Structure 1
Amino acid sequence: MRLFQNSCFYPSYLPRLNQLAAKAVSFEERRRVFLHDRFGASHFLQPVLEGASEAFFTNGDDEVLQRRWAREQGMPGEPTLEAILLAQIEHHATEVLYNLDPVRYPSAFVAKLPGCVKKAVCWRAAPSGNADFTAYAAVLGNAPSILDIWRRRGCRVESFFPAHDPVMDEYGHGERPVDVAFAGGYSRHHRVRARTLERVAQLADSRNIVFCLDASRLTRLAESTLGRLLPLRRHRRPDAIAAIAKPPVFGRELYELLGSAKIVLNGAIDMAGTDRGNMRCFEAMGCGALLVSDAGEYPEGMQEGVTIETYGTPEQAAEVISRSLQDWPGPAEIAARGRARVRGTYSKDVQWKAFVDLVGRL
């Protein structure tokens, strides 16, 4: 199978990538730096991470990366990022396209694919307005309620899961000086999560709590000198959160944080309904931390009191965390079982075999 996987990253990750890739002068060098840093690696298929000759990977939203490829291949003028991506697919003679960025490259893009592409599938685990994915052979995801949305819009859907990144095995084998870590977004879309963060942040008087927050532009504006003169109070982070907030972390820096924490706090975004199992669950468990996450419907292997702990309210989150830290190392055994379970149930080998089987059914 000649596989092409297209991905993307958060705008807030770009400064880190540019710093890591400061000496990279070619497409291949910049791509190698990105893949080594492991941003989003739970979604990257085994042939990509192993550098298989029949697999091609790119970030279609990385203008620096894509324009380097275009120049190296002699594309004239200033082609659009879409034109470059289409040229890459044709040059690779792709048979199967797996697109992790379908909002940017929806059905209109699929209609332009070269004839070598036999099947195109995409991953989408969130509502996406009026985006049209019906031209894809299937929309993949691990949230049943979200998949139902796409099914009702005329898409074929298939259940598929992130995987344990084997590089996670390098982290979390020493002391865990951080009592509780949280890494994730903070915006108006995270109201429930924000209340939980505020309650847990109040434990910082007696515990080492580390919140690495990727604040929205509106939140950053609200907290600026100018923003404090505007009616944006509800977009500012509560004092308890702001007092301990650190900049966001990504890639191996994220793995380092998760591997240094006894507990990783997780909370679904408001639009997730009762479905649970976002990528942070796989990352936290994979790095050996005790996952404390909000109650809901979890995938196989994520079981309350066995491999993870859950909470129902912000107050319960603080109670579960306090009790777990007091009873340590008992909950450490739950974390160890969680690490073993996610490593076995969601290995890269299992993920790749599931993908091959899925494509074969389409």
Structure 2
Amino acid sequence: MRVFQNNGLSRGFRSHRSKLRGDAFREQISNFLNSRFAALHILLPVLEGDALAFYTNGDDDQLQAAWAREHGLRTRDLTEILLAQIEHHNTEVFYNLDPMLYGSDFVRRLPGCVRQAICWRAAPSGNVDLSGYDLVVCNFPSILQDWQQKGCRTAYFSPAYDSLMSDYAGSAERSLDLIFVGGFSRHHVARTAALSEAASLEGVRARFHLEEGRLTRLANAFPFVPVLKKHAYPLRVRELTAGPVYGREMYAEFANARIVLNGAVDMAGPDRGNMRCFEATGCGSVLLTDAGNYPDGFIDGKTMVTYSSPDQIPALVGRLLSDPAWALSIAQAGHNMVQCEYSKQRQWLRFRELV
């Protein structure tokens, strides 16, 4: 199977990517894959360097310009470059992690070699049309149901354990008690409440690595503007905040913390299972997360700990820190579960089934 996987970079990672040096397309891709950004979504053949698999970040103008230059393509248009890459690769299956940028209009322009077009979308997306795709996948049943109602074929598909996490999961020296890594925006009201509760804990060594939404970034810069004030970091949260981390840097931060705090985006409904669930357990930390409908294997009190409301966080953190044996049992069970049940091999077998 000749599979082509396309992804998009988050706004925060775009500034971070300057660390990934390289001029040639292959060098840039190698450095990107080695960073482990979004590795849970990247298919096994890509990570293993299979000659039949091709990967790119279609919204990365520097990366795509390198490919165009190396192949004599005289355009800077990212859509045209991506189409040329797919045709050059002679792709049979196009798997797109960035359908908000490349929707049905793009699918209709795919070269004739493409037999199937599949996309991942795990968020409500307004009036975006994905009906041109043969299949829309994610691990949120309610979102899949929403896409079905819009006329799309759908299937359940999960992130997978990154084998490099095993290098971090066995860390015994964890200098932080609690850590959070994720976005902070107007779409994270419930998450903001959870962070505020965690920030209020006395004697707990905590750190928050936050990626600001556009409105939050503006509010933090001008907190004295009344209309923006509600979107800024609460004072105690600001005191514990560091810059965002991604990939290997995030793995290292998780390996340095006993507890990873998680909270769903407000628009997720009752379903749970964002990437942080797999990353926290994968790196051997206790996942402390909001209650909801989780993927198989994520069990409260066994492989993770859940809170029904943010005000329960202080007591749960206190119990986990005062009972290290209990905390360690949950961390180990969570890691063993995600390593076994959500391996890259299983993810790839499931993808082949869908195709």
Is the structural similarity TM-score above 0.5? Answer: yes
Matches within 5 A, 1:179-328: 179-203=177-201, 205-224=202-221, 226-229=222-225, 231-328=227-324
| 4+ runs deviating over 6 angstroms | none
Check conservation: 1:3, 1:97, Cα contact below 8 A: yes
Greater alpha carbon shift after TM alignment, 213-222 vs 151-160: 213-222
Residue 138 of structure 1: aligned partner: 135
- Report the CA distance between 1:230 and its aligned residue: 5.2
Residue 102 of structure 2: aligned partner: 105
Q: Does 1:154 align with 2:151?
A: yes
Q: Does 1:72 align with 2:70?
A: yes
Counterpart residue identity of residue 348, structure 1: K
Paired with 2:225 and 2:234, the residues of 1 have a C-alpha distance of: 17
Counterpart residue identity of residue 70, structure 1: A
Paired with 2:227 and 2:103, the residues of 1 have a C-alpha distance of: 37
Matches within 5 A, 1:45-84: 45-76=43-74, 78-84=75-81
Counterpart residue identity of residue 288, structure 1: G
- Report the CA distance between 1:20 and its aligned residue: 2.6
Query: Match of 1:329, SS?
Result: helix
Paired with 1:11 and 1:338, the residues of 2 have a C-alpha distance of: 30
Paired with 1:176 and 1:267, the residues of 2 have a C-alpha distance of: 22
Check conservation: 2:169, 2:282, Cα contact below 8 A: no
Residue 16 of structure 1: aligned partner: 16
- Superimposed CA distance per residue, residues 159-190 of structure 1 (whole angstroms, 9 cap, x where no aligned partner): 00000000111113231111001000001110
Paired with 2:81 and 2:340, the residues of 1 have a C-alpha distance of: 38
Query: Match of 2:169, SS?
Result: coil
Check conservation: 1:222, 1:230, Cα contact below 8 A: no
State the Cα RMSD in Å. 0.9
- Report the CA distance between 1:231 and its aligned residue: 2.7
Query: Match of 1:125, SS?
Result: coil
Check conservation: 2:197, 2:310, Cα contact below 8 A: yes
Check conservation: 1:172, 1:256, Cα contact below 8 A: no
Picking from 162, 165, 170, the partner of 2:167 is 170
- Superimposed CA distance per residue, residues 283-324 of structure 1 (whole angstroms, 9 cap, x where no aligned partner): 000000000110011111100111110000111122111111
Query: Match of 2:224, SS?
Result: helix
Paired with 2:275 and 2:223, the residues of 1 have a C-alpha distance of: 32
Check conservation: 1:277, 1:298, Cα contact below 8 A: yes
Paired with 1:67 and 1:273, the residues of 2 have a C-alpha distance of: 39
TM-score, normalising length: structure 1: 0.96
Query: Match of 1:235, SS?
Result: coil
Paired with 2:227 and 2:292, the residues of 1 have a C-alpha distance of: 35
Counterpart residue identity of residue 200, structure 1: A
Paired with 1:265 and 1:328, the residues of 2 have a C-alpha distance of: 17
Residue 6 of structure 2: aligned partner: 6
Residue 348 of structure 2: aligned partner: 352
Paired with 1:243 and 1:329, the residues of 2 have a C-alpha distance of: 30
- Report the CA distance between 1:229 and its aligned residue: 3.8
Greater alpha carbon shift after TM alignment, 242-251 vs 171-180: 171-180
Give the unaligned 5+ runs of structure 2.
none
Q: Does 1:30 align with 2:18?
A: no
Share of identical aligned residues, percent? 49
Paired with 2:354 and 2:307, the residues of 1 have a C-alpha distance of: 34
- Report the CA distance between 1:106 and its aligned residue: 0.3
